[in-house]
A and B are shown apart, each in its own frame.
Chain A
Amino acid sequence: MPDHSHNLPAATTRPRATLRRALFVTGAFALAACAAVAVALAAGSVPIDAITIVRALTGEGTDTAVTIVRELRLPRALAAFAVGGLLAYAGALLQVLLRNPLADPYVLGISGGAAVAALSAMLAGAAALVMPAAFGGALASTLIVFGLARAGSGETPWSATRLLLTGIVVAAGWGALIALLLSIAPDAQVKGMLFWLIGDLSTASAPLLPWVVLALSLVAGMVLARDLNVLSRGEDLASTLGVAVPRVTLAMHALAALATAAAVTVAGSIGFVGLIVPHAVRMFIGNDHRLLLPAAVLAGGTLLVLADTLARTLVAPIQLPVGVVTALVGVPAFLFLLTRGGARG
């Protein structure tokens, strides 16, 4: 084979992952996340300055300020952060599992299943059931895709490609059911359903569930982080390097499904965050998951907090669904990174 490498630009890589570098990177991303939350608390129909925010957070100051900061903006910003973190986390895991940088949390039909269940609950007028239905739909869809991918594969173990293909086809099926539900829904309900489909945080108020899921899944991800590094080089190689591949991949699928289900339940199906955030973070800090997982969670949270702040202030008093903003901002930003990153991407 002729040696053609020297015709390529010298693509040197970033420094090797060490504990020191991991702490530094995580710290930098955490600072950005705090700044984003501060912006989210300050911005809105009633701008609030930094000192008032700090006082309001500790329960001092005027009742209005305390109410706006503590009861309206803070829960929403925390919900946005958790949802963004969960989506980026699920995307990072699935990209390794499918060894495909195009994989995202919805690729296995997860959001489609959640959407069909949630929209059905809306159509039936059972508002209280929308969240549990979305959660159940997301997990059920994952199980269906796995069952189908495994059932058809005979004696050979199912491959990443087979799983991806099954997920895409099942997602297309969910898409048809979603279109059916939208076309038979009364006009008055269609807008609410559309907002849910695009992804919307205006009704998000209880960030406890997504935060608990986020914390637990991040801890589990960190336990597996070096296994993930090896797995991203292929399942057979990982297996001969001592990774218990069946157990680890099963855990990763379960964690990704759970994280996505929690995110979809809170905010509907917000696209794009789970696809671009892990990919963009990987461009900057490399593919070591001991750095990548926490950084992607922080970056995903930061992105969604900022996007949601834009969504509620851009054309105020009208509130946009945050999914519109993530796509409008995300698409050009990602394309810019991709062209600029070149050989590194």
Chain B
Amino acid sequence: MTGAAPLLSCRGLELRVGARTLCRALDLDVARGECVAVIGPNGAGKTTLIATLAGLRPPAAGTIAYAGTPLGELTPRERARLRGWLAQDSVDHFPASVLETALVGRHPHLSRYAWESADDVDCALAALERFGMAAFAERDVRTLSGGERRRVALAALVAQAPALMLLDEPSSHLDPGHQIAAQDTIAALARSAGSGIVMALHELHLAVRYADRIVALADGAAEVGPAAEMLTEARLSRLFRTPLVAVGSGRARTFVPA
């Protein structure tokens, strides 16, 4: 592992689900402080790509490395200290307080028999505070709304403090205000800590606002390019197979059906 190696590097990545090929020969490097958005129509394989990059399922072909070390050479614990993963949806099967749920993020940093220290609690509370959830620390997560649970899941990820964040629709369930607040928080953390982000996104306005580069998935192929080149009316209309036009300007630009 060297500081110079990209946080994430994949070569010749091929994804398959059953007989369907979602993408082939994907090469992608994510540097410190960089934010990559994965966009594409429903079922294109955004979630599968994020899960594969997280090491949750093996790719059909190709290699993945975190900070220069191939995934196969890292233990689960070493991986957990390098990359964090945010699921598209989380289900709470058992009672747990908001604080306990965020503290789960400290798991890879604690030795097997250690109890969470005051520092760990502070870290989890600070993470909750960033997403406006610290006041809910003692509440049972199952009494929260979908958007509030989303912010708790984001706080758990921030408490994990991974250099590489793999996010599957981080702002699902969030209202417009909390979408921007949550994404701003993640982006600011990434900038200050030098983390890298790969996130699957539905809302194109979030890709415009936050992404440095875009991975566009559709019809078994993946295209990678700078956000400015990828987020155009012509390309997006082709990607989503529906005519789209740009509205707004600057950071507040987005694409809507024509």
Contacts and interface: CB of A to CB of B under 8 A. Distances in A.
Contacts of A12: 97, 138-140
B139 A10 contact: yes
Interface in B60-97: 75-81, 83-85, 87, 90-97
Interface string A281-302: 0110011101000000000000
Contact of B105 (A241, A245, A345): A241
B56 interface: yes
A101 B81 contact: no
Given A230-B107, A237-B87, A344 B140 contact: yes
Contact of A101 (B84, B94, B100, B174): B94
Given A19-B115, A237-B85, A240-B84, A100 B139 contact: no
Contact of A2 (B79, B110, B144, B145): B145
Nearest to A243: B76
A109 B56 CA distance: 30
Given A13-B138, A241-B104, A5 B115 contact: no
Interface string B175-201: 100000000000000000000000000
A4 B96 CA distance: 19
B95 A286 contact: yes
Contact of A243 (B105, B107, B121, B174): B107
B80 A240 contact: yes
A239 B78 CA distance: 11
Interface string A1-44: 11111001111110011110000000000000000000000000
A237 B100 contact: no
B160 to A, nearest CB: 7
B112 interface: yes
Contact of B95 (A8, A13, A99, A223): A13
Q: Which one of B54, B99, B143, B147 has the highest number of Cβ atoms from chain A below 10 Å of its Cβ?
A: B143
Contacts of B78: 242
Interface in A326-345: 343-345
Q: How large is the interface on B (under 10, 10 to 19, 20 to 34, 35 or more residues)?
A: 35 or more
Nearest to A4: B145
Given A5-B145, A13-B95, A13-B97, A240 B79 contact: yes
A201 B110 CA distance: 43
A12 to B, nearest CB: 5
A223 B108 CA distance: 15
Interface string B93-137: 111110111011101101010011000010000000000000000
Contacts of B110: 226
Contacts of A286: 95-97, 100
A234 interface: yes
Contacts of B115: 17-19, 290
A152 to B, nearest CB: 16
A101 B93 contact: yes
A239 B175 CA distance: 29
A10 B137 CA distance: 12
A251 to B, nearest CB: 14
Given A229-B104, A233-B93, 17 more contacts: A11-B143, A18-B115, A19-B115, A99-B93, A101-B93, A232-B93, A232-B94, A233-B104, A236-B56, A239-B56, A241-B80, A241-B105, A241-B108, A282-B95, A287-B96, A287-B100, A345-B95
20 contacts: A3-B145, A13-B139, A100-B93, A101-B93, A223-B112, A226-B112, A229-B104, A233-B96, A234-B87, A234-B90, A236-B85, A240-B56, A240-B79, A240-B83, A240-B84, A241-B104, A242-B108, A282-B94, A286-B97, A288-B100
Interface of B: 51, 54-56, 75-81, 83-85, 87, 90-97, 99-101, 103-105, 107-108, 110, 112, 115-116, 121, 138-140, 142-148, 160, 173-175
Going nearest first, the 6 A-B pairs with the smallest beta carbon separation are A242-B80, A242-B108, A13-B97, A242-B77, A240-B85, A287-B94
